[in-house]
Amino acid sequence: MIQVFSNSWALFLGIGMLMVGNSLQGSLLGVRGNLEAFDPTLMGYVMSAYFAGFLGGSWMAPQMIRRVGYVRVFAALASLISAAFLIYAVFVTPIAWALMRFVVGFCFSGVYVVAESWLNNSASNENRGQTLSAYMMVQMVGIVIGQAVLNIADPSGYDLFVLMSIVVSLSFAPILLSASPAPLSDNTERMTLRELYESSPLGCVGSFLLGGIFSSMFGMSAVYGAQIGFGVDKIAFFVSLMYVTALIFQYPIGWISDRVDRRRVIAICMIAATLATGMGSIFSENVLFIYLAAAVLGGMANPLYSLLIAHTNDYLPPSKMASASSGLVFINGVGATFGPIVVGYMMGWFGPDGYFIFNCVLSALIAAYAVFRMTQRAALPAADNGTFVALPTRGAVIAEVAAELYAQEAIEERDEDAYEEFIEGDGSADGGSSDSDKSP
Instruction: Give residue limits of the domains in the chain.
Output: 2-178+190-438
8 A C-beta contact, residue 46 and residue 101: yes
pLDDT-based confidence at residue 333 (cuts at 50, 70, 90)? confident
Query: Amino acid identity of 182?
Result: A
Kindly tell me the burial class for residue 370, based on how many C-beta atoms sit within 10 Å of its own C-beta (0-12, 13-18, 19 or more): buried
pLDDT of 139-180, one tens digit each? 888 888 998 999 899 999 999 999 999 998 888 888 777 655
Residue 195 pLDDT > 70, yes or no? yes
Q: What is the pTM of this model?
A: 0.79
CB proximity list for 384: less than 8 A, separation 6 or greater: 314, 422
8 A C-beta contact, residue 340 and residue 44: yes
Percent of the residues in the chain that have a pLDDT greater than 70, as a whole number: 78
CA distance 53 to 213: 18
Sign of the CA dihedral with 372 first, then 303, 100, and 160 last: positive
pLDDT of 376-409, one tens digit each? 887 766 555 555 555 555 555 455 555 555 555 5
- Taking domain 2-178+190-438, whether its CATH number is 2.40.50.100 is answered by no
